[in-house]
Amino acid sequence: MDTTTNLRPFPAINYSNNKVALNDGAAQWTYTELRQRIDRFASGLLGKQTDLKEERIAFFMPASVDYATTLLGIWRAGGIAVPLNIAAAMPEIEYALSCAKVTRIVVGISSPAESLTPLYSLCRGLGITVVNVSELLSDKILVMPELNIGRRAMMLFTSGTTNKPKGVVTTHNNIRAQITTLLEAWNWQENDSIPLFLPLHHIHGIINVLCCALWIGARVTLFPRFDMGQILTGVEDRDYNVFMAVPTIYVKIIGELEKLPEPRRKRICAGFKDMRLNISGSAACPVKLYNQWKELTGQTLLERYGMTEIGMGISNPYLGERRAGSVGVPLPGVEVALFDDAGNIIEGDDSPGEIRVRGENVFLEYWDNVQATEDSFIDGWFCTGDVALRESGYYRIMGRSSVDIIKSGGYKLSALEIEGTLLTHDSVAECAVIGVEDETWGEAVTAFVVLKPEHSLEHAALKKWCETRMSPYKIPKHLRVLESLPRNAMGKVMKPELKKL
């Protein structure tokens, strides 16, 4: 195998490919134009250096040509790309920047204006330079460094069973493996066309949609957010042949279709039917949703399972049976096994165990956290914390080993992180956060609090208070005030008891 990388693995991004790569509704860029932009940007980033040597460069922008330029430009120049959550509250951004020891932040023309002022003031305080993509588009194209494929390429923040998110570091080789397995498994084609409306600080949007499409030479239509009206118009107009979303989005689309006049609903459903692939992932797709989608559009959803640390691991087949309520079989090049409580591999079907994963797709490390990295691997297997069983070879996800992880609308949230913030509220003496089953969100963040004497707290006031302290999707959807929290003999809150409430 070639052990150096420098955008060569993205074969479609070259100077003689005049196909459209990106389109944002107002303008479009061919692969040649994108390549020129990336090279100019990477040259601007390098300045007088010959290699960014894993400098952590963060960027704060929605899906846009600037986003693609920045991500690929950082990779080209040898930096580590740190895409930030554009919906995050400033304390969350501050944590990410400090944890990753970011030195520069890139913003784009379409970076959300209302959050740029607080971002600039935060960065001034932290001594981090903020630059606009346009300032880095150098006229002089420099020679790019030759990078070993084992070099660190990206850091994404993921919530877990600690109160602070961890930086998941992947190498160029991990990213290559995560992309190429999907190109093969899902039969990606140069003439594919896909809308990209997912947030771009997670694997789903970055790898599964953007990078797979750009690697193969397909066309991506960019949306700064999930814009129901525009996206459905594109489907109606047959603009796309591949669609990837989280279950919440399919639920929301079904809700919208039900409100539309029949002729338009029929045209949109026919648009979905004519696509070659509709994929659901990031959270469990309920069988009811799978059936509703099939009934409405004629499409059999392809469900797959992934994680920030591994990219995608398990998928229903492109050809062959796609089973409702199941995530399918291991992807090419990904080793998956189930382990029992004693740490033995479960060979047969029908016994639940923890999913563990091995392969080139698996991340390198948690940034600056040797202990957490060591703790998450056993004998070379990455321990996902998800529990599954196999039924005639197909994996069915049964749940998670921790009650402290919540999946809401595809986002993985840490109950402990939300509790940590709520505990800083003047009225809150104790609190516990859980995910409660919800038809739209999968799980809805629910906070149980015990108030300090003589204090009161309304849900609306709490939501307002949370706005500057956490991303909107972490804000509790429900609040219950209790006299005391149910605790066991060790004093630990019994979250299953709260679920019963």
The distance from CA 134 to its chain's CA centroid, rounded to whole angstroms, is 26
Decide which of ligand AMP, ligand MCA, none touches 60; Cβ closer than 5 to 8 Å per partner kind. Answer: none
Report the nearest approach of ligand AMP to the CB of residue 340 (Å): 19
The answer to the question of residue 308 lying near ligand MCA (CB under 6 A) is yes
Q: Find all residues with CB under 8 Å of 112, minimum gap 6, and list them.
A: 62, 86
Our CB check for ligand MCA shows the closer of 122 and 249 to be 249
Contact (CB, 8 A) for 414 and 162: yes
Q: CB under 6 A: which stretch of 176-184, 192-200, 248-256, 306-314 binds ligand AMP?
A: 306-314
What distance in Å separates the CA atoms of residue 265 and residue 282, rounded to the nearest whole number?
27
Residue 485 binding ligand AMP, by CB under 6 A: no
Q: How many residues bind ligand AMP (CB under 6 A)?
A: 18
Residue 400's binding partner, choosing from ligand AMP, ligand MCA, none, with beta-carbon cut-off 5 to 8 A by kind? ligand AMP
Residues 224-283 that bind ligand AMP (CB under 6 A): 281-283
The yes or no reply on residue 313 touching ligand MCA (CB under 6 A) is no
The verdict on 5 binding ligand MCA (CB under 6 A) reads no
Instruction: Enter the tokens of residue 155.
Output: 């850091």
Shortest approach of ligand MCA to residue 83 CB, angstroms? 12
Helix, strand and coil content of the chain, in percent to the nearest 5, comes to 35, 30, 40
Site membership for ligand AMP, residue 29 (CB under 6 A): no
Task: Please state the closest distance from residue 204 (CB atom) to ligand AMP, in A.
Answer: 8
Of residues 145-204, those binding ligand MCA (CB under 6 A):
198-199, 202-204
Distance separating alpha carbons of residues 273 and 241, to the nearest angstrom = 9
Q: Contacting ligand MCA (CB under 6 A), which of 339, 441, 448, 465?
A: 441
HEC readout, 263-331 = HHHHHHHHHHHCCCEEEECCCCCCHHHHHHHHHHHCCCCEEEEEECCCEEEEECCCCCCCCCCCCEEEC
**Should residue 208 be labelled a site residue for ligand AMP when binding is judged by CB under 6 A?**
no
When asked if residue 400 is in the footprint of ligand AMP (CB under 6 A), the reply is yes
* 410 in contact with ligand MCA (CB under 6 A): yes
C-beta closer to ligand MCA: residue 40 or 477: 477
19 near ligand MCA, judged by CB under 6 A: no
Nearest to 68 by CA among 16, 30, 26: 30
Task: Report the residue number, 267 or 459, with the smaller CB distance to ligand MCA.
Answer: 459
- Residue closer to ligand MCA, measured from CB, 63 or 72: 63
306 binds ligand MCA (CB under 6 A): yes
- Distance between CA 130 and CA 249 in Å, rounded? 33
Which among ligand AMP, ligand MCA, none contacts residue 120 (Cβ within 5 to 8 A by kind)? none
| CA atoms of 184 and 280, how far apart (whole Å) | 18
Of the candidate residues 31, 75, 215, 305, the single one contacting ligand AMP (CB under 6 A): 305
Contact 187, 211 (CB under 8 A): no
Nearer to ligand MCA, 43 or 308 (CB): 308
Binding mask 249-278 for ligand MCA (x = CB under 6 A): x--x--------------------------
d(CA 266, CA 483): 52
Q: Given the rule CB under 6 A, which of 88-96, 136-144, 347-355, 408-416 is the region that contacts ligand MCA?
A: 408-416
Say which amino acid occupies 495. K
Q: How many residues are listed for the chain in this entry?
A: 501
Q: What are phi and psi of 424, to 5 degrees?
A: -85, 0
Distance CA 474, CA 108 (A): 26
What is the pairing mode between strands 104-107 and 56-60?
parallel
Binding mask 272-301 for ligand AMP (x = CB under 6 A): ---------xxxx-----------------
Burial of 159 (0-12, 13-18, 19+ CB in 10 A): buried
Q: Which residue has the tokens 């006229």?
A: 139
Do residues 178 and 156 touch, judged by C-beta distance below 8 A? no
409 binds, among ligand AMP, ligand MCA, none (CB under 5 to 8 A by kind): ligand MCA
The residue at minimum Cβ distance from ligand MCA is: 409
From the list ligand AMP, ligand MCA, none, pick the one residue 462 interacts with, judged by a Cβ distance below 5 to 8 Å according to partner type: none
Question: Is residue 351 classed as helix, strand or coil in its secondary structure?
Answer: coil
First-last CA distance in the chain: 56
State which residue, 365 or 386, has the beta carbon closest to ligand AMP. Answer: 386
**Beta bridge mates, 157:** 167
3-class DSSP state for residue 65? helix
Q: Which does 246 bind (CB under 5 to 8 A by kind): ligand MCA, ligand AMP, none?
A: ligand MCA
Q: Is 412 in the site for ligand AMP (CB under 6 A)?
A: yes
Residue 306 as a binder of ligand AMP (CB under 6 A): the answer is yes
- Residue 213 binds what, of ligand MCA, ligand AMP, none (CB under 5 to 8 Å, by partner type)? none
Q: At what angle do helices 90-100 and 113-126 cross, to 10 degrees?
A: 40
Distance (Å, rounded) from C-alpha 225 to C-alpha 250? 15
For residues 328 and 316, the answer to whether their CB atoms sit within 8 Å is yes
Count of chain residues binding ligand MCA (CB under 6 A): 25
Which positions touch ligand MCA (CB under 6 A)? Answer: 198-199, 202-205, 225-226, 246, 248-249, 252, 281-282, 306-308, 408-412, 441, 472-473
Which positions touch ligand AMP (CB under 6 A)? Answer: 158, 202, 281-284, 303, 305-308, 327, 384, 386, 397, 400, 407, 412
